[in-house]
Structure 1
Amino acid sequence: MADVLRVLTGDGQKVEPGEEFGSLTLRAESDGGPAGGLVVSFFVDDPSGTGTGFHGGSPVMVTTDVHGAATTDVPLVAGDSGGTVRVLATAGTVTVEYTLEVVAGGS
């Protein structure tokens, strides 16, 4: 079981409608060290109604490696409307959040 999930890469990305976001990577830790073999679920929360989602739907489930790392391997595709998208990654009762943005109009 993980004590903490730490975002490594992917937070703060901005893409235009229809584009793919880069992979999201986190590190699961237990007692200060890596927590391998844990299943992490990545869920899309789309309060702005952008239409963003993982190809094939949510959640995307990834197992942490021996270093405690988990990286999404399914494309996260930006929807047709601009706005903020959150991706919540959970392992057991521990959660971490990524905040992403779909930038409409090339801004």
Structure 2
Amino acid sequence: MVSALTPVSGDGQKAERAGRFAPLAVRATGAGDAPAGGQVVSFYVDDAQGTGTDFHGGSPVMVTTDENGIGLTDVPLNAGHSPGTVRIRAMSGAAQATFTVEVV
């Protein structure tokens, strides 16, 4: 069971319109801050500013954490055609992490 999710990489990225963002990664931990491997993490796009940003094939993207508790998106996150800020929420059970990316 996951007690916490922490962004590892991908937060704060900027991408040109119609470009691509680098993969997003979280670290899932369980009791005693131990890595939580084999856990499903869902990544949801919250595009409140209407940039058109989304994962290829749509949101959510679900990944399984490795033995170190790392979950890495394996589906491209495509920047939309309008500039703005986009939030991506990673969730596993009650644990959440938020990434913020920007289309420039």
**What's the TM-score, normalizing by structure 2?**
0.98
In structure 2, give the amino acid aligned to 1:54. F
Q: Any stretches of 5+ residues in structure 1 without a counterpart? A: none
Match of residue 16 from structure 1: 16
Partners of 2:7 and 2:47 lie apart in 1 by: 19
In structure 1, give the amino acid aligned to 2:46. D
Structure 2 counterparts to residues 1-107 of structure 1, below 5 A: 1-31=1-31, 32-103=33-104
**What's the TM-score, normalizing by structure 1?**
0.95
In structure 2, give the amino acid aligned to 1:27. R
Partners of 2:47 and 2:96 lie apart in 1 by: 17
CA offset at residue 75 of structure 1? 0.3
CA offset at residue 89 of structure 1? 0.3
User: In the comparison of the two structures, how many residue pairs are matched?
Assistant: 103
Aligned alpha-carbon RMSD (Å): 0.5
TM-superposition CA deviations, 1:63-90 (whole Å, max 9, x none): 0011000000000000000000000000
In structure 2, give the amino acid aligned to 1:19. G
In structure 1, give the amino acid aligned to 2:15. V
Partners of 2:49 and 2:19 lie apart in 1 by: 17
Identity score, percent: 56
Q: Any stretches of 5+ residues in structure 2 without a counterpart? A: none
CA offset at residue 26 of structure 1? 0.6
